Chain A
Amino acid sequence: MACVYIPVQNSEEEVRVALDQLPRDAADILDILKAEQAPLDLWLIIAREYFKQGKVEQFRQILEEGSGPEIDDYYSDVRYERIAILNALGAYYSYLGKIETKQREKEEHFILATQYYNKASRIDMHEPSTWVGKGQLLLAKGDVEQAFAAFKIVLDGDRDNVPALLGQACVEFNRGRYSESLELYKRALIVHPSCPAAVRLGIGLCRYKLGQFDKARQAFARVLQLDPENAEALVALAITDLHTNEATGIRKGMEKMQRAFEIYPYCAMALNYLANHFFFTGQHFLVEQLTETALAVTNHGPTKAHSYYNLARSYHSKGDYEKAGLYYMASVKEINKPYEFIFPYYGLGQVQLKLGDLRSAQSNFDKVLEIYPDNCETLKALGHIYVQLGQTEKAQEFMRKATKIDPRDSQAFLELGELLISSDTGAALDAFKTARSLLKKGGQEVPIELLNNIGVLHFERGEFELAEQSFKEALGDGIWLPFVEGSEKFQEIDASASVVQYKDRQLFHRLEDSGRNVELPWNKVTPLFNLARLQEQLNNAETASILYRLILYKYPDYVDAYLRLAAIAKARNNVQLSIELVHDALKVNDKCPNALSMLGELELKNDDWVKAKETFRAASDATDGKDSYATLSLGNWNYFAAIRNEKRNPKLEATHLEKAKELYTRVLLQHPANLYAANGAGVVLAEKGHFDVSKDIFTQVQEAASGNIFVQMPDVWINLAHVYFAQGNFSLAVKMYQNCLRKFYYNTDSQILLYLARTYYEAEQWQDCKKTLLRAIHLAPSNYTLRFDAGVTLQKFSASTLQKTKKTADEVRSTIAELDNAVRLFTKPHLEAAIREEQQIRQRQEVARQVALAEEASRKAEEQRKFQLERRKQEDELKRVRQQEEHFQRIKEQWKSSTPGSKRRERSEIDDEEGGNSEKKKRKGGKRRKKDKSSKSRYETEEAEADMMDDQEDLEDEDANLNYREPTSQNDQDDAEENAHDPLAAAGLEDSDAEDDTAAPSSTTVRRRRAWSESDDDEPLERQPLSRENSPELRDSDEEVKDEGHRPNGLDAAEDED
């Protein structure tokens, strides 16, 4: 047991004081010390002993007594001990000041400490320990440079002064000069190998700062060996453990942290780390407690920043963004240089993003990025912000960078893909595919949405097999699979029931009854719908219809499925069923503009004009007139009406045309890139005879449409051909018609063949004309108009042959045979007419007359033949032929005059028969087509239009009859058109034209095309829905589904047009 002996004054005796049994009252011992005038070093020893025992009050009492003026008097010659006592007090107050958190008390402590040191210096200003003390004090006050000077004084005198070495090491450490600091610590250790463990702590910290983690660990471990209770070493070691980033390391680290906490509960660092740990374990209550303590015990900025950060994170994860934001702010405020501690900026950015403060969030993320320019998360966050700010290109740039930096970040690729959908589907697809393969590689489940989007993109690019694979992958196994794969057999139904087959959902009831599980999870509805769309595309309408019905069986409110079924029915000409299905859709939503538009088309197809117009109006109203499709439909309606009434009421025609133009123009104003509206406008212009302008428009529309594989606009080809025809450019017209037939109709459209024949006729290519008409008849044998036209052609051909000055007997013979055929052909309409009702009597009479004339002609021809055979004079023949022609002309004349008078109904029938020949009709027909197409952009409704057109064409045909217009008159018209040019441009079309014109010639098309493809809602290809869908946040499933639905529909639309 350690004890000290206080010599008794004036004797040899000593008072023995056991150091572990110091009296509680320091006054007792003070009395002895004073009474015996004990040496001052004893005072110090005893005071120190009190201090060690934690009896700070007694310690202070003794030292204060031992440094009082009395002592100075008494022990004036004992300089060292007096200094030692003063220095001890100075060190004590320095310490108090250092740990004191309240500013005022802190100051007071430091003042006291300074006073003691100054007093010591007055005794001996060269005493090194005083300088060391002063240095420590300055360090504690944060006055690093002065501290440096103080220690330097000592070290200059004695370069091995351990305390000074340590002090200086500390100074260097604080100045960030870790290697110098390390040298000093090392020297101290060499000089004084048994120095306290804390010295090694310094070494460890220096090493740590220098990045020598292993050596740092060794140093910390050594500290703990020497002093197992050293909390700082424990914390340091724990931190290095934590930084190993391995589960065991982290666990060990946390154990050490905990022990440090148990040893010394007020170490802010340990508290922060513990809080951090509990944050990750989700014990937010502990996080808050620990952090609050940490905040209370430290003034150290970075540590506080860390604490605030912990708190903020805790609130952040609990979803309390307001509070989290405040604490992140507090944390950020504690940070002088962002590079020291960047996390709170990131957190703040996140919270601001969440709270919608995009600009602030952006600036915070920018700060993070300055320090970590390659941080993927930050890049992604910024990309996301730019998307929301509408700066797509910047967003893409960031996303691309993120994917480049971390080519294994599936999320980044996913987001990049979403960004690219609107601009570059190919790149978007690549990004999605990369995301998919990354997810697969990582063993993660690939989200259905992703697979769906990949499928849609493939679909849009025409890669149907890949699309199918992707949709199937998205769907997985289910009741749909046997239907798609065709293993589920078609169920026999009554033939009369087959008429409404697409409404039948009994199939699934039966399946359920037979124990099959008919399930369709909500998140698979969209891919299933798309798969069905794909099946339609692949011409598997039957499979598609079953899938749509499955959707409706489970989700009877899915409007798009009704509409698709209606479209399939319509494509098969089952108009009644189609209408019923549309009505089903309207039962779900009677304001659905798509359903209304489609209904309108169907009503037009049924020749229900008034109803159709009302329906289109309703569709337009349902979208506040913003639905281009409805507007276009109304425009078409007016156009058709104008054409229909053409001959009967010029005023009405003009009104309708004007109205149509106005409607097309309105759409163009809203969507300058709407192909269909432009086409419609072109048609109206052509109708007014402005062929050059309309040709320009059609050419541009054609170019734009051909730049996009999803938009198919055969109408514009036909319109162009009509214009060429009208301008007398027959060879170009022929080419255009032929290409259109082949490209869009598989050569099955007899109407276009009729246009083609008409062109040949005008070009006097009789054989081509005949063959073309025969082909048309072969395709549409019940269209007697075609037969009549063929007859006319044959006759005309005969006439022209017979008119030739030189001809062979063979020629004449074959000509006569042709005339016979002509007669037979003419007979047909006659018989046909007879079969018809009385209303057609008039018509029939005309036909009969014609037939009679034709027969007469043929009789004459026969006579001619005789003449020929007898080698009679040719002049006679010629005369007769001419007569024939005149007759025929007369017939035509008569026909013309008679038709207009007849009633509309009649006319339409008549037209059917006669239609082919009139140019006017044809042209109009074409135009109509144009219009029709314009409206098609949306659903299949478009198809409806096409059909409509056909009907209308028929109507037109009625009027057209046999009026062959003279080429000359056409030319005149053309001239007139040219004159009209400018006013025209000024009138309606400026938008589109102007745009195009101003563009540099070379870039025009490109630009335009882009413009088209970007164009809004009307375009079938809209991507917006897609991107919406893709967005990572879960949207309402319904919405999603619909969007997707639209897209494919859009696609269809394009196709359906043909």
Chain B
Amino acid sequence: MKLAGLKSIENSHDESVWAATWVPATETRPALLMTGSLDETVKLWGSDELVLERTNTGHSLGVASVAAHPSGLIGASASLDSFVRVFDVDTNATIATLESPPSEVWQLRFNPEGSTLAVAGGGSASITLWDTATWSLVATLPIPRPEGPKPSDKSGSKKFVLSVAWSPDGRRLACGSMDGTISVFDVARAKFLHHLEGHFMPVRSLVYSPIEPRLLFSASDDAHVHMYDSEKKSLVGAMSGHASWVLSLDVSPDGQALATGSSDRTVRLWDLNMRAAVQTMSNHTDQVWGVAFRPPGGTGVRSGRLASVSDDKSISLYDYS
């Protein structure tokens, strides 16, 4: 497996690009890349040439996360001011504005069926679930407080929830916190199941393997990527190699490769069978905040694509094969 650079867009945004995700193809158009930036805009990019399709404004204080509905029709973006804007991808018509208390919104993810939007609840130490039909709050899944001898007064900030991930079957939700713990929830029963330990620094990105529903990958500031069996509560593997924080990760649609973006300005491709880095891309000149594999499907596009976005304001697109 390998990555080959296809296209890079310098100054794609006016400021650091903080988030990226692919909007799945619809019947009328191929997949789009959606990026969010400190410049308070969300942009949509089409084709291998990364043609700018639209610039969405309306956020203030920087866009920290973007998410796309599996149908490819709906997008969501969240900014540091704790607003989540839900919009029609093709028209940019606002569908809903979800307001949360300050600093209680971080990462967003739609579940595989598209019925629910999970929002990492930041300082609320919980995940909030929103119904995508009514855009009402369905549930709040709080992370249980550690029952230590003296509940530290800082625990609130330590449990700040940064990242969230749905299992491919939609039955499990995992979230990562500032203190490094990963919490796994049973979605159907809205119940906390257990913690996955191993990190002691913020877990900024989580993703389940598309082919092994129990396999969860975590990216942490400790420069490691962990592989957990989220049901058995076991650490299956630990991969080191980045020189600084691992900010984001994504698993390829075939489940064979993992891409990570790091503060060390590189994108790494990992072979999951060998559990070793097989390639390091150093085209970015600043922290790489987001990596995303393009989901399969769409009109005639077979080949894999990986996108990465960075503090250096650029977007890079790679061919993955």
Residues of A744-797 contacting chain B, CB below 8 A: 746-748, 771, 774-775, 777-778, 781-784, 787, 790
B275 touches A539 (CB 8 A): no
Question: Considering the chains assembled together, what is the distance between the CA atoms of A495 and B196 in angstroms?
Answer: 6
For the complex, what is the distance from the CA of A502 to the CA of B55, rounded to whole Å? Answer: 48
Q: Contacts A539-B243, A542-B239, A784-B157 hold; do A572 and B123 have CB atoms under 8 A apart? A: no
B128-136, B166-174, B220-228: which lies at the interface: B220-228
| Interface pick from B1-9, B100-108, B206-214 | B100-108
- The segment out of A27-35, A213-221, A352-360, A485-493 that lies at the interface is A485-493
Chain B contacts for A821, CB-based, 8 A: 60-61, 81
* Alpha-carbon distance A123/B190, docked complex (angstroms): 146
The listed residue (B82, B156, B197, B237) touching A835 by CB distance below 8 A is B156
| B154 CB within 8 Å of chain A | yes
Which chain B residues lie closer than 8 Å to A574 at the CB level? 200
A824–B81 CB distance below 8 A: yes
Q: Does B263 lie within 8 Å of A748, measured CB to CB?
A: yes
Given contacts A486-B276, A784-B103, A821-B61, contact A496 B233 (CB under 8 A): yes
Give chain A residues whose Cβ lies under 8 Å from the Cβ of B199: 572
CB-CB under 8 A for A571 and B222, given A493-B235, A781-B160: yes
The reply to whether B38 and A774 contact each other, CB–CB distance below 8 Å, is yes
CB distance from B203 to the nearest CB of A (A): 12
Contact between B160 and A539 (Cβ–Cβ < 8 Å)? no
**Chain B: CB-nearest residue to A787:** B103
Q: Chain B 14-42, CB within 8 Å of chain A: the 1/0 string?
A: 01101000000000000000000010000
Of the listed stretches A202-210, A260-268, A613-621, A826-834, name the one at the interface; the rest are far from the partner chain: A826-834
Which residues on A sit within 8 Å (CB–CB) of B250?
none
Q: When the two chains form their complex, are residues A540 and B240 in contact, meaning their CB atoms are under 8 A apart?
A: yes
Query: In the assembled complex, which residues on chain B have CB atoms less than 8 Å from the CB atom of A787?
Result: 102-103
Contacts of A492 in B (CB 8 A): 229, 234-237
Q: How far is the CA of A499 from the CA of B180 in the complex (A)?
A: 11
Among the listed stretches A239-247, A448-456, A836-844, which one makes contact with chain B, having 4 or more residues with CB under 8 Å of it? A836-844
Do A909 and B61 have beta carbons less than 8 Å apart?
no
B153 within 8 A of A: yes
Residues of A within 8 A of B234 (CB): 492-495
Say yes or no: is B88 at the interface (Cβ < 8 Å to chain A).
no
Question: Does any Cβ of B come within 8 Å of A498's Cβ?
Answer: yes
B75-119 residues at the A interface, CB under 8 angstroms: 80-82, 101-103, 106
Separation of A543 and B241 alpha carbons in the complex (Å):
10
**B229: which A residues are within 8 A, CB to CB?**
492
Contact at A827–B102, with CB atoms within 8 Å? yes
Q: Which residue from chain B places its CB closest to the CB of A840 in the assembled complex?
A: B153
Q: Out of A495, A782, A824, which one reaches B123, CB within 8 Å?
A: A782
Answer yes or no: B264 CB below 8 A from chain A CBs.
Answer: yes
Q: Known: A784-B157, A839-B153. Contact between A573 and B223, CB under 8 A?
A: no
- Chain B nearest Cβ from A355, distance in angstroms: 54
A542 touches B197 (CB 8 A): no
Known contacts A542-B238, A572-B222, A909 near B154 by CB under 8 Å: yes
B265 in the interface, Cβ–Cβ < 8 Å? yes
Q: How far is the CB of B51 from chain A (nearest CB, A)?
A: 28
Q: Given the complex of chains A and B, what is the CA–CA distance between A831 and B100 in angstroms?
A: 12
Give the nearest-CB partner of B245 in chain A. Answer: A748
Chain A residue numbers with a CB within 8 Å of B154 are 909, 912
Partner of B160, one of A489, A782, A825: A782
Whether A778 lies near B62 (C-beta < 8 A) is: yes
A540 to B200, CA, bound (A): 18
Instruction: Mark out the residues of chain B between 240 and 277 whose CB falls within 8 Å of any chain A CB in the assembled complex.
Output: 240-245, 263-265, 274-276
**Chain B interface extent, by class:** 35 or more
Give the chain B neighbours of A909 by CB distance below 8 A. 153-154
Q: Does B122 contact A (CB under 8 A)?
A: yes
Complex alpha-carbon distance, A34 and B16, angstroms: 138
Q: Please give, as numbers and ranges, the residues of chain B lying within 8 Å of A783 by CB-CB distance.
A: 157
The contact of B103 among A573, A771, A828, by CB within 8 Å, is A828
- Which A-chain residue is minimally distant from B236 (CB atoms)? A492
Which residues of A are found within 8 Å of B274, using beta-carbon distances? 486
Q: Name A499's closest neighbour in chain B (CB-CB).
A: B197
CB nearest to B220 among chain A residues: A572
Asked if B297 is at the interface of the complex by the 8 Å CB criterion, the answer is no
Q: Is B308 close to A, CB under 8 A?
A: no
Please, how many angstroms separate the alpha-carbon atoms of A575 and B222 in the complex?
A: 13
- Does A774 lie within 8 Å of B286, measured CB to CB? no
Pick the contact of A747 from B61, B162, B263, B276 — CB < 8 Å?
B263
CB distance from A518 to the nearest CB of B (A): 21
Question: Which of A499, A746, A790 meets B245, CB within 8 Å?
Answer: A746
Question: CA–CA, A866 to B38, complex, Å?
Answer: 30
Instruction: Tell me which residues across on chain A come within 8 A of B198, comparing CB atoms.
Output: 495, 498-499, 501
A541 at the interface (CB under 8 A from B): yes
CA distance A783 to B202 in the complex (A): 13
B191 is an interface residue with CB less than 8 A from chain A: no
Rounded to whole Å, the gap between the CB of A769 and the closest CB of chain B is 13
Q: Does A149 contact B (CB under 8 A)?
A: no
In the bound assembly, the distance between CA atoms of A824 and B100 in angstroms comes to: 11
CA distance A541 to B16 in the complex (A): 30
Contact A778 B228 (CB under 8 A): no
Interface check B287, CB cutoff 8 A: yes
| Set of chain A residues within 8 Å of B226, measured between Cβ atoms | 498
Inter-chain CA distance A571–B240, complex, in Å, is 12
B81 CB contacts on chain A under 8 angstroms: 821, 824
B66 within 8 A of A: no
**Interface residue A817 (Cβ < 8 Å from any Cβ of B):** yes
Which B-chain residue is minimally distant from A535 (CB atoms)? Answer: B240
Selected A-B contacts with CB under 8 Å, 6 pairs = A492-B236, A572-B224, A774-B38, A787-B103, A828-B102, A832-B156
Q: Which residues of A contact B (CB under 8 A)?
A: 486, 489-490, 492-499, 501, 538-543, 571-575, 746-748, 771, 774-775, 777-778, 781-784, 787, 790, 817-818, 821, 824-825, 827-828, 831-832, 835-837, 839-840, 909, 912
Closest 10 pairs between A and B when the two form their complex, measured CB to CB:
A782-B160, A573-B200, A828-B102, A782-B157, A572-B222, A746-B263, A498-B235, A746-B244, A498-B198, A541-B240
Other contacts beyond A827-B101, A909-B153: 15, CB < 8 A? A486-B276, A493-B235, A499-B197, A542-B238, A746-B244, A774-B61, A775-B16, A781-B103, A781-B160, A781-B178, A782-B158, A782-B178, A818-B60, A821-B60, A835-B156
